[in-house]
Amino acid sequence: MATLHRNIRWIAIAALTFSPVLAMASDPALPTARQVVERYDQALGGRDAIMRHTSSTMKGMLEIPQGPQPQHLPFVFLAHAPFQRVEKTSLPNGAGDVLNAFDGENAWSFDPRSGAQVYDGDEKQSMKRDADFYYAINELSWFKSMETVGAVDFEGKPCFHLHGVNNWGKSNDHFYDRETGLLDGYEFASELGLTHEIFSDYKKIDGVMVPTRQTVKVQIKTGEWVVAETLIFESVTFNDVDPAVFIPLDAVKALLKKQAQ
């Protein structure tokens, strides 16, 4: 099952060393982080159902609030196990496609307005994590520590609150629904401020529960939360991706060659 991405690269369109994980609960009355994550895997459909798939195609519309009428941009996300992913969003008025990708080795992007870019360091690790096709199963391996810190309401839903520090030192808070076991969202700091990434409208597709709506909200200076973007998944299919689609563009290859010199 393709991972859910945890970055805010899309807003720009509009304008691994394993570490031991401390999977604990700060309150002994709460389930441990490992127990919460294992329950999540079961809620998705179970390990066997997840592992039965090796690739996915997700198509839909990116909605960005802009004035009285939101902007709508079509997107396609292609993913393949173990670490390959291309996210393509089409710009308005036939201006081309913006690509963000991890091809199994390199993290890169391409914008027809500004050209190719190759990523390294923390950004590369973040994009590799987002490309982990079996992230739901591998989740704890991406964290130096993870603990259950409370039972709270997140975006109006009762959740177990897990606080994690990933392998490159960034905090990321997870909220798992206490009733369904499914992931309701993340809270993290982005370049826009405190950010919520919310997953909703789960549907069972080929044996696996998939969130078909992904909303990004940002807390502004007044303390109010405003929607920055919404991803609406109109179709999700599995085991239908040719690995050749992850071959870098010529512009990316040229940049990688230049950087290697």
Q: Is residue 4 part of a domain?
A: no
Residue 6 lies in a domain: no
> What phi, psi does 223 have (nearest 5°)?
95, -10
pLDDT at 66: 80
Asked whether the beta carbons of 57 and 241 are under 8 A apart, the reply is yes
CA distance 170 to 182: 23
Domain span at residue 119?
Answer: 11-260
d(CA 13, CA 117): 15
Q: Does a structural domain hold residue 127? A: yes
Any domain includes 182: yes
Residue 190 lies in a domain: yes
The answer to whether position 3 is within a domain reads no
pLDDT score recorded for residue 139: 97
Which tokens belong to 243? 């690995």
Is residue 2 included in any domain, yes or no?
no
User: How far is the first Cα of the chain from the last one, in angstroms, to the nearest whole number?
Assistant: 37
Integer Cα distance of 173 and 70 in angstroms: 29
User: Two tokens at 104?
Assistant: 């199994």
The domain that contains 104 carries what CATH number?
2.50.20.10
pLDDT at 261: 83
Structural domains of the chain, count: 1
The parts of the chain modelled with pLDDT lower than 70 are 1-28
Residue type, position 97, single letter: D
**pTM, rounded to two decimals:** 0.88
67: left (phi over 0), alpha (psi -120 to 50) or beta: left
Within-domain flag for 101: yes
Angstrom CA distances, 178 to 80, 150, 161, 214, 216, stand at 30, 11, 10, 19, 21
